[in-house]
Amino acid sequence: MQNTGEKKHLLTTISDLPKMTQARIDALHELGIYRVSNLLKHLPTRYETHHGGMTIESAEQLLGDRESSPELVTIEVTICKVSPGWRRGRKSKLEVAVEDETSRMHANWFNQPWVARALHPDMRIRLHGAISMHKGFLQMNNPRWEEIDEDEPTVAIEGDLRPVYRASELISSSVIASLIADVIEDALPEIDDHLSDEMLHDLSMPKLADAYAMCHKPETEDQAREGRRRIAYDELLILQLGVMMKRHHRRETMHAPQLEWNEDIKNRIEARIPFALTESQQNVIEEIANDVTSNTPMNRLLQGDVGSGKTVVALHAMLMAVTCNAQAAMMAPTELLAEQHFKTISNQLKGSQVKTALLTSSLTGKERKALIKKISTGEIDLVVGTHALLTDDVIFSNIAIAITDEQHRFGVQQRALLRNKSDDAYAIPHTLVMTATPIPRTLSLTIFGDLDVSTIKGLPPGRSPITTRLVQPSEANKVYYYLMELIAKGQQGYVVVPLVEETQSELKSAVAHAESLQNGFLKNAKVGIVHGRMKSEERELTMEQFRNGTVDVLVATTVIEVGVDVANASMMVIEHADRFGLAQLHQLRGRVGRGTLPGVCALIASPTTEDAQLRLEAIVETTDGFRIAERDLEIRGPGELFGAKQSGIAPFKVARLPRDLELLRLARRSAVEWIKRDPTLERSPLLKSRLMHAHGEALGLGDVA
C-alpha cells in the first residue's frame, strides 16, 4: 500500500491508494475506475448548494417560518423506527423516524420500496435533501442517504458547491469525493494538454488540467460549466479527428472502379422496374451515379423512413455495376431479411441475363464451395447475403459496389470489407449503407461523419396511413376480437412477442402464444410462427404461406422487424411493447400499411419505467421516423443508438447530444482543418495516441494511421 505522503500519479492503481478496502476497490471497478486517471475522469453529475454538518434543530431554524426550502441540507442521524406507509399498486411510501442529539424528524421515501430493505433501527445514516414542515414536524422527502462509516469522517468540500458523483449501493458519492480530494492536487500537474495555448485562446477554453480542477472544485456553477465544456469538446474532437482521418484516407489513398452512367444505361435499368419511381428516389439515384462515375470510393448513407423504397434504389446502384461488367453485393443483418431482398431482386430481374445468388450461413458444404467459386470467377453478378459474405474465403472477381442494409446492426469497420482477389491493397468497392432508422442530425456528424448522406423523403404513392394505439394488458381481448374481424374480411396480421420459447418470466413467447391464439381467439384462422431459431427452409415456407394468404396471422419475434413486405397484412399486435426499443417499435409497425389497406398497430403494455412510458408515448404520437429518431436520441442518449456499442465506439462520458450540438459542430470544423494540415496526426503525437487509444480499433484506424 502506498504511503499517504507519496505522490498520486495518474497511472497509480486505486488499490495502491490509502484508505482503500477490497469492498471499495470492487465498487470502484464496477464504476470503471481502476486508476487515478479514471478517478479524475469520473466527473460530478451535478452540484448542490450545501449546508453541511447541521443538526435537526439548526435545520428547523434555517427553515424559519417557511413551510419548505429549496436549499439542501446534510444531517447525521440515528434511525429510531422504520414504518412502511401506504401502498397502492406500484405506488408506495416508506416513513422513517430519525433523531440526533437535538431533536427528531421524519424521512420519507416514495415509490422506492428497496430503501426499506436497506434501513433498520439504530443505524447511523447521513441524510441529504430539501427540508419542509408537515403537521409541525420537520421532514425530508426522498433524501439521498448513506450509511456513516464511523472509522472515516467524510472530507469536507470547501466552498458552497458540493459535487455529486455517480455512485452505487456499494460506494457513496461522498466517499468518491473524498478519494478525489485526496489525489487531485498531486495528479493535476501531470495532465499534459494536446491543444496549444494559441488554440485554447482561439477557442476561449481553459487548459485540460484546469478544466478538471474547475469540475471537481468549482467556486461557481459557471466555472464548473466552463470546465465541463472543455472536456466535452475534447471527447467530440477526438472522435471527429478519427472520422476525418478515415475519410481523408479513403478519398486520397484508396480507389474504386470508375463506372459509366448515361441515358441508355438509365433506361435499361428503369425498364426492369415495374413501377414509377418518386422524384426523391430519382434524385438519390443521381447522387449515387455521380459518386460511382468517379474512382474516388463512394461512402454514402441512404436513409429513408420505413417503406420509403430504399431497396429499389439499392437495386439501381447494383445494376450500375452489372451493366459495366462488374459485380455487386448486398449484406443484410438477418437471414430473413437477406432472403426477402433476394426474392424481391430476383423477381424484378426475372428474364434478364443477370446472375444472382444468396449466400447465408445456412448454405454449407459443396453448395457453398461451388457458389464461392462462381463468385470468385465472376460467374455471379449480384450476391445477396448476411455476415457470411465477410468470411475470408469469399473473394470477388470484380466487385464494384457493396451495399449494407440496416447499417447500424453492423460494426463500423464492417462497412467495406468485401474485396477483390487483385493484389491491389488500395482497391475497394464503392460503399452504400442503408437504414430505415433515420439518423438524427446530431449523430450524423459523429460516427457517421465519414459518410455522405442521401435521404428519400416521403412514401411511394398508394401507401396507407397507420393508426397506433396503446392498450393495457387487461384490454388485450378487444385487440384480438378486432384482429378476428379483419381476418374475416380476408385481411392478415402479425403478432410480435419478445421470446421464442417460454421462460420463468411472465413474458409471452412465440411458440406458446401461437398455440394459445390458435386454440382460442383465432381458432378459425391459420396461425403460423417465425423466429430466429428456425431452419431457413422451414422459416421460408411459413413466410411463403403468409405471402400467399394460406397463413392468416404470423406470430413472430423481432426477426420480422425489417424487410418483410406483405400488402394484405393490415394489423400489427405487439405484446409487451414496453420491452422493445423505440426504433424497433417503429420498424415493426412499418410491416403494415404497405398496400392500399389502412394499417393498425396495437401496443399491448403497462410500462413500469419512465423511459418505457416516453417511448410508447412517442410511437403513438407520430409515424414520422425522423421525429422518432430524434426522440429516441433524447430518451436514450447516443451511447446505445445506431450500433455505437456494437461498433466498439465508446459512448460519450461528458458530451451530451443533442444538447452539445454547437460544440460538436465546432469540434468538426477543428478536425477538418487539423486533418488538412496533418492527415495522419504525425505532428501531434499526444493527440494521435489519445485518438488511437479511444477509437483506433473501433474505427479501423490501424491502416490509416
Enumerate the β-bridge partners of residue 530: 556
The Cβ-side half-sphere exposure at 425, using a 13 Å CA radius, reads 3
The pLDDT assigned to 217 comes to: 93
The pLDDT assigned to 561 comes to: 67
Enumerate the β-bridge partners of residue 384: 330, 358
- The grid cell for 702 is 490501424
* Per-residue pLDDT tens over the stretch 543-580: 899 999 999 999 998 887 666 778 899 999 999 999 99
- Amino acid letter for position 363: L
The Cβ-side half-sphere exposure at 666, using a 13 Å CA radius, reads 17
Question: What is the block-wise mean pLDDT of the chain (705 residues), using blocks of 10 residues?
Answer: 54 90 94 95 84 81 79 87 74 90 92 84 89 89 83 49 86 90 93 95 96 94 94 95 91 93 92 87 96 95 84 94 95 86 90 93 91 95 92 91 73 57 83 81 70 83 83 94 95 92 75 92 92 84 92 89 80 94 88 87 90 91 85 70 47 82 92 95 95 84 71
Domains contained in the chain, CATH given: 48-165 (2.40.50.140), 263-293+309-435 (3.40.50.300), 466-622 (3.40.50.300)
- Which of 327, 561, 318, 547 is closest to 435 using CA atoms? 561
The pLDDT assigned to 646 comes to: 42
The pLDDT assigned to 13 comes to: 94
The pLDDT assigned to 65 comes to: 77
Distance CA 156, CA 153 (A): 9
User: Do the strands 91-99 and 44-54 form a parallel or antiparallel pair, or are they unpaired?
Assistant: unpaired
The pLDDT assigned to 155 comes to: 45
The pLDDT assigned to 527 comes to: 95
Distance CA 526, CA 546 (A): 10
Residue with cell 462520458: 653
Angle between helices 173-187 and 208-216 (to 10 degrees): 150
Is the Cβ–Cβ distance between 430 and 451 less than 8 Å?
A: no
Is the Cβ–Cβ distance between 339 and 491 less than 8 Å?
A: no
DSSP state, 636?
A: H
Q: Which helix (H) or strand (E) is 685 found in, with range? A: helix 685-691
How far is Cα of residue 604 from the mean position of the Cα atoms in its chain? 24
Q: CB neighbours of 119 closer than 8 A, spacing ≥ 6?
A: 79, 82, 96, 125, 145
pTM for this structure?
A: 0.71
Query: 239-276: b or e for each residue (b if 16 or more CB lie within 10 Å)?
Result: bbbbbbbbbbbbeeebbbbebebeeebbeebeebeeee
- Which of 86, 76, 80, 72 is closest to 142 using CA atoms? 72
- Which of 410, 427, 429 is closest to 338 using CA atoms? 410
- The grid cell for 539 is 422459416
In 10 A of CB 482, how many CB atoms? 16
The pLDDT assigned to 441 comes to: 67
The pLDDT assigned to 639 comes to: 52
Q: Strand 399-405: give its sheet, edge to edge.
A: 356-359, 382-385, 327-331, 399-405, 430-435, 299-304, 452-456
At residue 468, the 3 state secondary structure works out as strand
First to last CA, the chain: 40
Polymer length in residues for the chain: 705
The pLDDT assigned to 8 comes to: 58
- Amino acid letter for position 256: A
At residue 498, the 3 state secondary structure works out as coil
Q: What is the CA radius of gyration of the chain?
A: 30
The pLDDT assigned to 3 comes to: 43
Distance CA 205, CA 190 (A): 19
- The grid cell for 185 is 492536487
The pLDDT assigned to 396 comes to: 93
* Per-residue pLDDT tens over the stretch 210-268: 999 999 999 888 999 999 999 999 999 999 999 899 899 989 999 999 999 999 999 99
